Amino acid sequence: MRKPILVLLFISLLAVFAVGCSNERVAKPELKGTGPLALKLPPGILSPEYHQPVDYWKDHHMDILKRGDYNKHECMLCHDANTSCNNCHDYVGVKRVSGYE
Ligand code: HEC
Ligand code: HEC
């Protein structure tokens, strides 16, 4: 009596996996993402206070940079322009950041 239930469970697990994988096909440039666009930051560093909340920061970091509150050189203490700025900028079609290395 138990077996059919286990088989069913297994099949539904496979289905969940398949859906999960198809969602991953277009990997977005996000933290903890996978694939070539994943944002990379050195392990173990904490994000500065001005990053909080991070969703706000994601939308407004450019305003803060343009206003000159922070210098881009500061960003590069933790961020690598190619692996944690430009992979996202390329994805969304924003001008690349460069020359801060
Ligand atoms: C002290 C290290 C540090 C500095 C300096 C720093 N960051 Fe970050 N940044 C991080 C960390 C760590 C994260 C990961 C988000 C988190 O853990 O809250 C992050 C996340 C981000 C994200 C969001 C990525 C995402 O998809 O969630 C953006 C955008 C970003 N930083 C831009 C900048 C800019 C622009 C500057 C310069 C003004 C800067 N950072 C300076 C460490 C830093
Ligand atoms: C998770 C995505 C993401 C990451 C990571 C990211 N940015 Fe951006 N950035 C954007 C978006 C989206 C815009 C444009 C928003 C707009 O035009 O309204 C932008 C715009 C900018 C602009 C203004 C560019 C212009 O031509 O107006 C600067 C400067 C900038 N980002 C710097 C950085 C730096 C430096 C880093 C890395 C430390 C970084 N960004 C990381 C998404 C990101």
Could you read off the pLDDT of 13-68 as tens digits, one per residue? 777 766 655 554 556 767 766 777 788 888 888 888 989 998 899 999 999 898 98
- Preceding omega of 4 cis (within 30 degrees of 0): no
pLDDT value at residue 101? 45
**Which protein residue's CA is at the shortest distance from atom 29 of ligand 1?**
58
Atom of ligand 1 nearest to the CA of 54: 18
Note whether 45 and 78 are within 8 A (CB). yes
Q: How many CB atoms lie within 10 A of CB 18?
A: 10
pLDDT digits (tens, 9 = 90+) for 61-93: 999 898 988 888 889 889 989 888 998 999 999
Point out the ligand nearest to the CA of residue 70. 1
pLDDT value at residue 46? 86
The first and second tokens of residue 64, run together, are 């803060």
